[in-house]
Amino acid sequence: MSNQNIRNTDSSDEIKPGSGHNEEKSTAAPPKAGKPKGKSGKGFLGLDLDLITILLMAKGALAPTIVLAMAQATSIASMLGTLGYLSAIISLFSMPILPRAKYLQGLVINATGMAIAVAGSLLTIYCVTEARRHTSPPATAAAGAPVGTTPSQTQVPYNASASAVAAVWLFFWIWLGNVVRHRLPQAQQACIMFCILTTVSTMNSPLFPTMTYAITFIKTLLKAVFLGLGIATGVALFIVPVASRTIVGKIFTGLLMSIKGCLTSYGALLKSFESEDAMADMLVADREPRAEVKAARAAIKGTSALQAKLQVELPFAKREVGIGKLGPDDMKELNERIRFVLLPTLGLESITGLFQHFAVLRNWTEERIGSLNPEEQADRDAAVKDWISNMQLVHKNFAEIIGVMKDAIDHVLIRLELIPTPKDRTKKAQDAKAEDVESTAQTTAPGTSGFAEYLDRKSSQFYSEKHLTLVEWGRRRGITWPDNFFDHPDTAPIDMPQTMDTETKIRKQQNQRQLYLLLYMEFLLFRMSRSLLDMVLFVDGLVANGHMKRNRLIIPSLKRIRRLFMDIFARDNISSTDGAMRDHSDGSHQVYMGASYDVMKDPEHLAPTNAYQRAGDLFRQISVFLESSAAAFGFRAAVAAMAVAIPAFLRDTQHFSNQYRLFWAVIMVAISMSPTAGQSLFGFLLRSSGTVIAMLLSWVTYYVAGNGKTPGILVLYWFFAACGLYMPLKKPQFLMIGIISSVTLTLIIGYELEARKLGKTAIAASGQVYLGILVFAPVRLATVLAGLFVGFIFTIFPYPISEHSQLRRDLGASLYMLANYYSSVHETMAHRIKGDYNTKTDKNDPARRLEKVRIKLFTKQLLMINSMKTYSNFSRWEIPIGGKFPKKQYDDIITSIENITNYMSLISYASMSFSYLDDSGKISQWARSFRQLVAEVGPTSHETIMLLTLLSGAIRDGRPLPPYMPSPSPYQLSEKLEKMDEDILSIRHINEPGYAAFAVLQLAARCIVVDMETLVARVKDLVGEMDFGFHVVDSVNSSVEGIEVDKNKNKHD
């Protein structure tokens, strides 16, 4: 291999996973990006229904159908009593359509939650019966009540104390369930089932005269719950089993094909830049993008979405026992290599942004472009022609390397057996090469053993021919190079045209930008080719060592299995860079870590110094928890539920509440509350629609099946429940329509089948009123809608928790996190340039710790960006009160934050090249001088960090910005270096390995400045400026008597 084959061992390069919000909701196989669609285009009936989706829909509906069918057996019906429908609902909420590892993790959460719910219910009923016992004469037990039922109101007199105790416990359980639901999203389903069980048992508890009835009821409840979980588990593991590693394999395939699609779209985009119309459009700021630009952005958006999904599913695949060829470590290594391919892929997408940036610098906007004077128009026409000439110059090399990289992706897919090997690997191509002895000596087709060497040769050739492109670029500007110039660039003569000495500074900057952009694209394509070569070598190694020969039993380590279940309680903790990252000593050097590595300080408390103070800190965590947003959300949900539940605890309405099972309204309140008003309105509309659909489908199910024939009912129920699961699988944004419709359908059909099996007498004995399905379905609809409506009302009452306020708080936190990330990236870059950044050492090495912090900050920033986008989208669903919400300004700020984050990650990636300047053991004089000068200049921009911190505080607290605030200044590293050594960035050195990386840094830094200007302007629009100056306008002659301080005078002092 050539010396350019640099192994990517620094796992610190941040990859944008895109919008991963709600990724865990979708369980369908990922789209196979880049593969041709079938004849129907979008699948069956245009619904994107493939075979695996249809099977998963059928599988998900099978568990509740089995439970309802079992309940028709006398033995099961007598065991479950009137709780059979609850068992079916539990099996539906268990989500047996999930992949195996994810389902098993959920099973542990669900079983634990159900056990706690049953134990809590028993404690509640004990307290209620004790309250009854101490405040009334001993009640006469109602003998002979059916198993699983409660004594009727006529048998158990009303007791105010028992009802009051039950109401207090109901409030507590709903509060607890919603607190956990808010803090642990992975426990969402378990918390919903927890609220269902505790609500059912608690609202029935005032009807129990003694613990004898209570224990009978709890035993029946326990059997119903775990029967549902058991049936769901059997279906999940044995009916169309889906392994997490299978899902990951499909995501790997889709992701690699999507990267290939990105390369195709980039090739078309670069080709379009050779057109005068396309380039002229590109060099107009804010013009509607052309089709090629939209295609490239759509391709990268799909790639980012698949990358985000991969990061969600991969941990489960690595911790799963299964049959396959790739082990956990193999999947981890493959994921790392895909990460290194992705970043330059994402960086190429910013080319369009760079052209827009150049247009902004020249003030070529839509408004001005039509009113340019002849001199300005001539200047613009010359710039367009220059850029077209540049793109034509690199077209051949770029098109060739892009084609080779697409072949490399095919090679990886074939070697990993993710796509079939081309059977006739075009016998025509082999026949065509039959006469070429050298070609037949070594096969270079994707999927063959000689492809890695072919890719290495092509990548090295692309790199070595870079100087030919640069020579031609100079020749077109009148620069004459000797033939051996790049062999001795420091001493070889170079003839510069005299006009270049008299060029204006603006013209020199234009030439420099053109050169930097060419180097930028060349650098990213070359690094991508080397990353793909590394991946090719990795998969070839898997084939060579026998990994791909046969399937084998793969058992993860105990550590991974333990992590699978420990992640149940994992929460995102932003300040997780704790005291483990303190000052470090290696015996000969003492390394003092910055304050950001330590625990975040509390401005109201000093660090504890003794055991009493440490115990006090632990005690203070209780108050911190109670004032948290999770506790507040739980309290709001509990109050809303009690607003509906109160009739169940009053003398005059308790009997009515039990007859019509109004606890389902309470359950809907408890499980449908949303944290913010916009989400609540959106969810209310979706859940209401799902409930109405379920009622209509219940009638269709009952009457189409021969006016109530049980086999027909079960078959149609299974079909409609399967249709309801289409939403969770394919449209996760409409998840609630599918879930609520399936639950409501199960509730209505389950009740009807239960009543027919047990008889009206048993139903009446439980305190219910028997209603035919024509009446029962609308009653249940009204009950559910009432609960949903109350839940919506209490989201905005007594005061709304709006997306507006939450978005503003998150923006402040995101800007502060961006300042931290900005600082960490610049520290990384500085140390890499100095050559003292080494992450291969022990885990306590400062560079390793800096890497860990930087990746953590980047990951959390992406999560925050996705969260802000979600809040911004839901803000459209809020009921507008007062002035309009400035959504455009907020969206502009979010976009700028995302752009700056991406450019900083690109800087982090490009700076890796400086770590390799002396990998060969011999460093050039230019590299030595470059390191020395950069060390003297100092790359960290403290001005930008301070500005970001200031913007964070202003938008978070809603306070005006200070006056005379300096605007963000361009990152003038090149100018500073040239002042210290005018030859350091001379075109003599453009073939140096670090020169192209420096060009990437410069372009990315300049783009950051543009987004920083947008940030400052938009934040100033939102919060204003602290300015007490004023001016008087003479209405006669419109003159201004200035008694105002000139704001611009000292703006840059």
Dmax (CA) of the chain: 113
Please tell me the predicted confidence (pLDDT) of residue 848. 77
Backbone angles phi, psi at 839, to 5 degrees: -95, 5
pLDDT band for position 1039 (cuts 50, 70, 90): very low
Q: Packing angle between helix 291-318 and helix 351-361, nearest 10 degrees?
A: 130
Please give the Cα distance from 914 to 108 (Å, whole number): 48
Category of 702 on φ-ψ map: left (φ > 0), alpha (ψ -120 to 50) or beta: alpha
pLDDT in tens, 727-769: 888 887 777 778 888 888 999 999 889 888 888 888 877 778 8
pLDDT in tens, 948-964: 999 999 998 888 988 87
Question: Quick one: DSSP state of residue 569?
Answer: G
Tokens of 604: 């109201």
Which distant-in-sequence residues (6+ apart) come within 8 Å of 631 by Cβ? 179, 625
Please give the Cα distance from 643 to 794 (Å, whole number): 9
Please give the Cα distance from 6 to 215 (Å, whole number): 69
Q: What mean pLDDT do residues 251-255 have? A: 93
pLDDT band for position 147 (cuts 50, 70, 90): very low
Backbone angles phi, psi at 324, to 5 degrees: 180, -170
Q: Are strands 590-591 and 1031-1033 parallel, antiparallel or unpaired?
A: unpaired
pLDDT in tens, 510-524: 777 788 888 888 889
Please tell me the predicted confidence (pLDDT) of residue 36. 39
Q: What mean pLDDT do residues 869-891 have? A: 85
CA distances from 231 to 68, 601, 743 (A): 11, 51, 17
The CA-based dihedral angle spanning residues 1022, 1026, 1028, 1032, taken in that order and rounded to the nearest 10 degrees: -40
> Angle CA(801)–CA(805)–CA(807) in degrees, nearest 5?
115
Is the N-terminal amide bond of 711 cis, ω within 30° of 0? no
Tokens of 1033: 């306008």
pLDDT band for position 22 (cuts 50, 70, 90): very low
Identify which has the larger pLDDT, 243 or 35: 243
| Nearest Cα to Cα of residue 266 among 398, 408, 386, 396 | 398
Please give the Cα distance from 63 to 232 (Å, whole number): 5
Please give the sequence-ordered ranges of beta strands (E in DSSP) within 514-643, or none if there are none. Answer: 552-554, 584-585, 590-591
Backbone angles phi, psi at 790, to 5 degrees: -65, -40
| Nearest Cα to Cα of residue 845 among 584, 582, 580 | 584
Please tell me the predicted confidence (pLDDT) of residue 198. 95
In this structure, which amino acid lies at residue 714? L
Which distant-in-sequence residues (6+ apart) come within 8 Å of 534 by Cβ? 5, 7, 8, 337, 340
| Nearest Cα to Cα of residue 148 among 221, 97, 41 | 221
Q: What mean pLDDT do residues 644-651 have? A: 93
Q: Which residue has the tokens 């308790």?
A: 654
pLDDT band for position 682 (cuts 50, 70, 90): confident
pLDDT band for position 5 (cuts 50, 70, 90): very low
Which distant-in-sequence residues (6+ apart) come within 8 Å of 1003 by Cβ? 354, 513, 516, 517, 520
Which distant-in-sequence residues (6+ apart) come within 8 Å of 703 by Cβ? none
- Of 219-223, 559-563, 888-892, where does mean pLDDT reach its minimum? 559-563
Tokens of 1012: 């920083």
Please tell me the predicted confidence (pLDDT) of residue 322. 84
pLDDT band for position 674 (cuts 50, 70, 90): confident
Percent of the chain with pLDDT over 70: 78
pLDDT in tens, 805-836: 889 999 999 999 999 999 888 888 877 877 76
The CA-based dihedral angle spanning residues 280, 281, 286, 290, taken in that order and rounded to the nearest 10 degrees: -160
The 3-state secondary structure of 879-940, one letter per residue:
CCCCCCCCHHHHHHHHHHHHHHHHHHHHHHHHCHHHHCCCCCCCCCHHHHHHHHHHHHHCCC
Please give the Cα distance from 557 to 328 (Å, whole number): 9
Please give the Cα distance from 469 to 390 (Å, whole number): 9
Q: Is the pLDDT of residue 37 over 80?
A: no
Please give the Cα distance from 628 to 622 (Å, whole number): 10
Tokens of 980: 């210290």
pLDDT band for position 718 (cuts 50, 70, 90): very high
Please give the Cα distance from 536 to 527 (Å, whole number): 14
Q: Is the pLDDT of residue 684 over 90?
A: no
Q: Is the pLDDT of residue 227 over 90?
A: yes
pLDDT in tens, 51-74: 888 999 999 999 999 999 999 999
Q: Is the pLDDT of residue 847 over 80?
A: no
Please give the Cα distance from 607 to 601 (Å, whole number): 8
Sorted by where each begins, the domain ranges of the chain are 51-241+652-796, 250-319+322-422+442-554, 803-1027
Beta-bridge partners for 643: none
Q: What mean pLDDT do residues 561-582 have? A: 54
Q: Is the pLDDT of residue 571 over 80?
A: no
Mind giving me the DSSP string for 352-371? HHHHHHHHHHTT-BHHHHTT
pTM of the model: 0.81
Which distant-in-sequence residues (6+ apart) come within 8 Å of 323 by Cβ? 551, 552, 553, 554
Contact 380, 365 (CB under 8 A): no
Q: Is the pLDDT of residue 994 over 90?
A: no
